[in-house]
């Protein structure tokens, strides 16, 4: 029999408001959502969520799990992330794109970390592609990589970016056609995830590809849409064409991006401009390679920015005046749909993966459950990576200790 656990008396936002419910979990799945659920003689671990809300675990579709590289020389290379800090930030599903460094931070390292995080309790995927061409691959072609490696969901490209290799327009149209074929062949999202840079027309090639390729618009996602006023305008055009638009809390003037629009303001401005709320996503772009800029212009403390995703949700509710259901959609149902994970992720629902957060009246994250595993208890991680600072020696992550057989 599967191990049972139940979250009692939670006000459930799935993200739609379901009222006060008990959520029953068996193994990795949600099996019941009912008021005053009677388990009879069944034994289950219980979490008392009275006076608290339960919301879906966050889906972060752009997070550099091994570090994005080093943009300030060799000594600035970014370290890998730990599962305990991911869970503590409320992130239960993560997609790792290639960063700016694809020499020392190669595909094999990203995939290995993806497998590690998956074994430690969260759900982890990756993308291929990157900044510099020819793109590195596992099998000799990106098409074969996506077809044969289950954890790969799509391709990251960089457009309007001075540090990135350039595309001819016909190359992007061909890439879009390959992704569309792969979507049909694999059932995966096979998304073209486009980094928008600081050029005056950062999405020009992306929009041309969307219009000329005939590929459905949901196969495209523009990220870094709050990077500059130009990317903000580009986001409106991408969304009008039916593509997903992604905003990042890491993009702020205080974090070394003087032309950036802070994420909550950027989303509110986009919605006011008519962008379809269902096409808006937020991702951290966390653990990238940009330090905080001090008032004198020099680099300061490095910030992983994992917690900024939930803080942006809170800001959109408390200061932006958005309903919690809508603010949650940007980090739950919308990214799950963009990544082709909507059957399992992004909602609290029967049959879905048991990924949920229990938040207090102050909106702080009290409990995190990922694939049915209690990862954070009363604000403290209970599951940590093997070498994560602060982990007790006896607390081995699941799947890392062999049976000896």
Q: Strand 29-34 relative to strand 45-48: parallel, antiparallel, unpaired?
A: unpaired
54 neighbors 13 (Cβ within 8 angstroms): yes
Beta bridge partners, 290, equal none
| Cβ partners under 8 Å of residue 108, min gap 6 | 138
**3 state SS of 158:** strand
Q: Where in the chain is the domain with CATH 3.20.20.140?
A: 58-338
- The H or E element that residue 181 is part of is helix 169-186
Could you tell me if 202 and 166 are in contact, meaning their C-beta atoms sit under 8 angstroms apart? no
Question: Where in the sequence of the chain do the CATH 2.30.40.10 domains occur?
Answer: 4-56+347-381
Q: Is 63 exposed, middle or buried (0-12, 13-18, 19+ CB in 10 A)?
A: buried
Q: Write down the architecture of domain 58-338 according to CATH.
A: Alpha-Beta Barrel (3.20)
**Token pair listed for 247:** 């905003």
CATH 3.40.47.10 fits 4-56+347-381, yes or no: no
Angle, helices 204-213 vs 229-240, to 10°: value is: 10
Cβ 123 vs Cβ 345: under 8 Å: yes
Let me know: does 357 contact 208? Beta carbons within 8 Å. Answer: no
Beta strands in 169-321, from DSSP E residues, in sequence order: 191-196, 220-223, 244-247, 280-282
**Nearest to 126, CA basis, from 145, 142, 110, 104:** 110
Handedness of CA 68, 200, 60, 177 (dihedral sign): negative
Q: Positive or negative CA dihedral for 111, 108, 389, 397?
A: positive
First to last CA, the chain: 23
Task: Enter the tokens of residue 223.
Answer: 């990220």
The one-character DSSP state at 164 is S
Question: Tell me, what DSSP letter sits at residue 57?
Answer: P
* Cα dihedral: 264, 268, 269, 270 (round 10): 100
Q: Where are the alpha helices (DSSP H) in 219-364?
A: 229-240, 263-272, 308-318, 324-329, 333-338
Return the SS3 of 108. Answer: helix
Tell me, what's the pLDDT at 400? 45
pLDDT along the chain (405 residues), means of 10: 85 98 98 96 95 98 88 78 97 95 90 98 97 94 97 97 92 98 98 96 98 98 98 98 97 87 98 98 88 69 88 98 98 98 98 98 97 97 94 56 37
């Amino acid at each position: 029999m599967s191990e049972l656990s139940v979250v009692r008396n939670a006000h459930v936002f799935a993200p739609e408001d379901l009222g006060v419910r008990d959520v029953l979990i068996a193994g990795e799945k949600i099996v019941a959502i009912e008021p005053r659920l009677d388990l009879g003689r069944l034994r289950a671990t219980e979490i008392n969520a009275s006076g608290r809300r339960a919301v879906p675990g966050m889906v972060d579709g752009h997070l550099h799990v091994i570090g994005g590289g080093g943009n300030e020389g060799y000594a600035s290379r970014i370290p890998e992330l730990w599962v305990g800090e991911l869970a503590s930030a409320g992130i239960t599903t993560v997609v790792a794109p290639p960063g700016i460094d694809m020499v020392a931070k190669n595909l094999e390292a990203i995939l290995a970390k993806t497998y590690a995080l998956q074994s430690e309790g969260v759900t982890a995927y990756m993308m291929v592609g990157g900044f510099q061409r020819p793109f590195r691959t596992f099998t000799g072609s990106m098409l074969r990589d996506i077809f044969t490696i289950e954890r790969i969901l799509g391709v990251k490209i960089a457009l309007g970016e001075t540090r990135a290799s350039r595309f001819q327009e016909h190359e992007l149209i061909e890439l879009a056609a390959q992704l569309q074929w792969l979507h049909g062949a694999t059932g995966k999202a096979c998304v073209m995830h486009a980094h928008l840079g600081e050029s005056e027309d950062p999405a020009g090639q992306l929009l041309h590809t969307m219009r000329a390729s005939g590929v459905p618009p949901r196969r495209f996602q523009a990220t870094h849409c709050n990077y500059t006023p130009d990317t903000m305008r580009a986001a409106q055009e991408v969304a009008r064409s039916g593509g997903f638009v992604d905003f990042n809390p890491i993009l702020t003037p205080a974090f070394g991006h003087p032309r950036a629009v802070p994420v909550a303001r950027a989303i509110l401005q986009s919605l006011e401009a008519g962008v379809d709320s269902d096409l808006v996503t937020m991702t951290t772009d966390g653990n990238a390679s940009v330090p905080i800029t001090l008032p004198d212009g020099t680099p300061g403390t490095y910030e992983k920015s994992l917690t900024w995703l939930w803080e942006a949700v809170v800001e959109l509710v408390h200061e932006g005046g958005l309903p919690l259901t809508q603010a949650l959609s940007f980090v739950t149902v919308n990214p799950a749909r963009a990544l082709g994970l909507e059957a399992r992720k992004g909602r609290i629902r029967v049959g879905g993966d048991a990924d949920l957060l229990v938040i207090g009246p102050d909106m702080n994250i009290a409990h995190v459950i990922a694939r049915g595993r209690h990862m954070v208890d009363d604000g403290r991680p209970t599951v940590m990576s093997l070498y994560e600072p602060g982990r007790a020696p006896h607390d081995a992550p699941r799947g890392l200790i062999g049976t000896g057989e």
